[in-house]
Structure 1
């Protein structure tokens, strides 16, 4: 399985509009972060987790030519705002796009994209097939996907485990029942927003503590704010086996 980080930034992205801090002014490509998303290629199929505001640019930059499904972690705008840009895939592939999400996620999509779900279909609108999921494992074209329930302050969010790869974003609490689902994972992706405390995201120290508790062979942090600091400086001080992800990073997962 090939995993590509399409975006590793927080809800505002990095650089932040009008910000002149050292991170936003950095020339290091690893400090340029689209909104958080990840792409999988497995068994000949292509799918993404979340379609944020940068979805179009992410597809173009990664040269993704086909897309078979979308998994949504939760309903916040920085994870759903790019859904309209699936239209080229509808046109090329001549089929509806399978969209997997919990009931609250699907209901939010139906509100925000009312024109997609209207009984009167305007020509050229996105074509989707919403598939409701819960906390139980499900299959997509023979690929087993295990939801990992976490909390984003008080909002339920799903991470996903596929084989030995686990992906969690927008969390500040992982219950013990979910940690059991993560046992034995070789690669863990976990959100780490910034150094300072935050009401709904793990800080760097909290993310390190979680990563060491879970014990994956490799852990990559994502959903990173400009307040985290420069990529090269932060990563140089991380424990062994823990890294900052960056846009465009590719991993091969056995």
Structure 2
């Protein structure tokens, strides 16, 4: 399995127009973050988690020629706005794109992208097959995918586990029952927005505490705000088994 972190930032991430903070002015490529998304290559299949506003730029940068399915964590625009761009993969594969998400997410997509789901389709629009997920393991083209329900303030969000890889973004709470699904994972990717308290995201300290509870061989933090600080400085504070993610980071399992 090969995981690529396509984006590790947030809508309040970097660079911000007009911001003069040290992170926004940094020349370190690790401080330049697109919106959070990941690519997973496993068993000959190619999956994307979330298609945010930067989706087109991300897949072009990766030179991604094959995409077999898309998984959505939740319905916020910084995770869904790039859905239209899957049309390129319709042209490449000649097939509809399977899209997986909880019912509320799929309902939101149908409202936001009504033209995609219209009875009479305009030529050239994306062709999509929607598949509801209801917090039960699902077989996707021969690959077992385990949803993990977390809370983003009051909004339910799905993380995903594939094999020994677990991806959890946009959360500030996970129940003990759902955490059991994460145990034994080797690589954990986890939300760590900023240092100060936030109503819907883990802080750095909260993310470290959860990473230690899980005990993965390696944890990478994502959904990073510019408020967290410079990549090189934050890394010095972290234990060896926890690192900051950065755009383009590849992890092989």
Could you state the TM-score of these two structures normalised by the residue count of structure 2? 0.99
CA contact (8 A) 1:14 1:226 kept: yes
Query: Corresponding residue for 1:163?
Result: 163
1:235 lines up with 2:239 in the alignment: no
Query: Corresponding residue for 1:106?
Result: 106
Query: Corresponding residue for 2:217?
Result: 217
CA contact (8 A) 1:185 1:216 kept: yes
CA contact (8 A) 1:101 1:132 kept: yes
Runs of 4 or more, structure 1, over 3 Å off, are none
Whole-angstrom distance in 2 between the partners of 1:61 and 1:226: 22
Q: By how many angstroms is 1:74 displaced?
A: 0.4
CA contact (8 A) 1:56 1:85 kept: yes
1:32-111 equivalences in 2 (<5 Å) = 32-111=32-111
Q: By how many angstroms is 1:236 displaced?
A: 1.0
Task: Output one character per residue of 1:75-127: Cα deviation in whole Å (capped at 9) or x when no partner.
Answer: 00000000001111111111110000010000000000000011111011111
Q: By how many angstroms is 1:11 displaced?
A: 2.0
SS in 2 for 1:236: helix
State the aligned residue count. Answer: 253
Q: By how many angstroms is 1:18 displaced?
A: 2.1
CA contact (8 A) 1:12 1:35 kept: no
Could you state the TM-score of these two structures normalised by the residue count of structure 1? 0.98
1:65-214 equivalences in 2 (<5 Å) = 65-214=65-214
Aligned alpha-carbon RMSD (Å) = 0.7
Whole-angstrom distance in 2 between the partners of 1:216 and 1:10: 24
CA contact (8 A) 2:75 2:104 kept: yes
Whole-angstrom distance in 2 between the partners of 1:187 and 1:88: 31
Whole-angstrom distance in 2 between the partners of 1:167 and 1:70: 14
SS in 2 for 1:21: coil
Whole-angstrom distance in 2 between the partners of 1:94 and 1:244: 38
Whole-angstrom distance in 1 between the partners of 2:151 and 2:46: 27
Whole-angstrom distance in 1 between the partners of 2:196 and 2:231: 16
CA contact (8 A) 1:152 1:173 kept: yes
Whole-angstrom distance in 2 between the partners of 1:167 and 1:177: 17
SS in 1 for 2:25: coil
SS in 1 for 2:150: strand
SS in 2 for 1:18: coil
Q: By how many angstroms is 1:139 displaced?
A: 0.7
Q: By how many angstroms is 1:245 displaced?
A: 0.3
Q: By how many angstroms is 1:13 displaced?
A: 3.7
Q: By how many angstroms is 1:239 displaced?
A: 1.5
Whole-angstrom distance in 2 between the partners of 1:183 and 1:56: 33
Whole-angstrom distance in 1 between the partners of 2:67 and 2:18: 34
Q: By how many angstroms is 1:244 displaced?
A: 0.2
